[in-house]
Amino acid sequence: AQSVSQHNHHVILSEAASLELGCNYSYGGTVNLFWYVQYPGQHLQLLLKYFSGDPLVKGIKGFEAEFIKSKFSFNLRKPSVQWSDTAEYFCAVNLFSGGYNKLIFGAGTRLAVHP
Amino acid sequence: EAQVTQNPRYLITVTGKKLTVTCSQNMNHEYMSWYRQDPGLGLRQIYYSMNVEVTDKGDVPEGYKVSRKEKRNFPLILESPSPNQTSLYFCASSLFGNNSPLHFGNGTRLTVT
């Protein structure tokens, strides 16, 4: 069965520290990959996405992610986090089947950034 | 403004009392979906719809019903809610096709006592 694994459930960092959140998926076919962010009390917002082309994608607020096909990974990175990055981050894999989007989410990583 | 609107934002109810959570989108999206979010489990798909009168089960459909009589609306119905349906629910929509990211509503936090 297809699945998405996020390695860390909770991450605590100080401001200006670098961030890397791991995401691996299990599916052998073509995928589209997403990172969503959920700020406290809010809905999910798209952070960045990968469909094709350059495997290093840049998103909003200084985030980037690298798609490594051989490792089935799509890790999220940010060189220097801010307190406002405190949120929960979800990796998601889009399986295109029968013309519709089946989006499978990871369990999420809760990031807390301390000033 | 393009958006997905869910109502209510918060709902507390008792076991067995039927309820409906509404979802409406103004982007003319064909595809709509309901997810529930639980700690440590991420988002799990309940039901989805590819167009009017076309609905299908997601990964956790038990205890839920949906309908898609109009393109813009996709209500989630709990005929007889139980405490294990206490969760945060999100409606989402997108255009048809694999290059279209989902747009999410603001969520409905449901508590069943």
| Model pLDDT for residues B23-79, shown as the tens digit of each residue | 999 999 998 999 999 988 889 999 999 889 999 999 899 999 999 999 999 999 999
- The predicted pLDDT at position A115 comes to 87
Residue predicted with more confidence, A30 or A4: A4
CB A114 within 8 A of CB A12: yes
Q: Which residues of chain A lie closer than 8 angstroms to B45, CB-CB? A: 102-103
- The predicted pLDDT at position A7 comes to 86
Q: B10 has which bridge partners?
A: B109
* Mutation choice for B interface testing from A6, A10, A43 by most B CBs within 10 A: A43
Interface residues on A facing B, Cβ-Cβ cutoff 8 A: 4, 6, 9, 32, 34, 36, 42-46, 49, 51, 90, 92, 94, 96, 99-103, 105-108
Q: Which residues of chain B lie closer than 8 angstroms to A100, CB-CB? A: 31, 48, 50, 96
pLDDT at A1 over 80: no
Q: Which residues of chain B lie closer than 8 angstroms to A94, CB-CB? A: 98
For residues A14 and A65, give the distance between their C-alpha atoms in angstroms, rounded to a whole number. Answer: 21
Under DSSP, the state recorded for A107 is -
- Return the half-sphere exposure (C-beta side, CA atoms, 13 A cut-off) of residue A13: 23
Give the SS3 label for residue A71. Answer: helix
| Model pLDDT for residues A8-44, shown as the tens digit of each residue | 889 999 999 999 999 999 887 778 899 999 998 888 8
pLDDT at B91 over 80: yes
Here the tokens at position A25 are: 């998926």
Predicted confidence band of residue B10 (pLDDT cuts 50, 70, 90): very high
Predicted confidence band of residue A106 (pLDDT cuts 50, 70, 90): very high
Closest CA to A25 of A79, A88, A111, A104: A104
Residue predicted with more confidence, B75 or A52: B75
Residue pairs between chains A and B whose CB atoms are closer than 8 Å? 58
- Strands laid side by side in the B4-7 sheet: B4-7, B19-25, B76-78, B65-66
For residues B15 and B34, give the distance between their C-alpha atoms in angstroms, rounded to a whole number. Answer: 21
- Burial (CB < 10 A; 0-12, 13-18, 19+), residue A35, is buried
Give the SS3 label for residue B70. Answer: coil
Which percentage of chain A shows pLDDT scores above 90?
66
- The predicted pLDDT at position B39 comes to 87
Here the tokens at position A41 are: 């009390």
CB A111 within 8 A of CB A19: yes
For residues B86 and B111, give the distance between their C-alpha atoms in angstroms, rounded to a whole number. Answer: 5
pLDDT at A84 over 90: yes
E strand spans, chain B: 4-7, 10-13, 19-25, 31-38, 42-51, 54-57, 65-66, 76-78, 87-94, 103-104, 108-112
Mean pLDDT for all residues in chain A: 90
Here the tokens at position A11 are: 């991450």
Rounded to an integer, the average pLDDT of B102-113 is 93
Here the tokens at position B71 are: 């393109």
pLDDT at B99 over 70: no
Here the tokens at position A94 are: 């889009």
Rounded to an integer, the average pLDDT of A97-112 is 81
Residue predicted with more confidence, B108 or A103: B108
Q: Which amino acid is at A60?
A: I
Who contacts B27 (Cβ-Cβ below 8 Å, separation ≥6)? Answer: B2, B3, B4, B93, B95, B103
B65 vs chain A: nearest CA distance in angstroms? 19
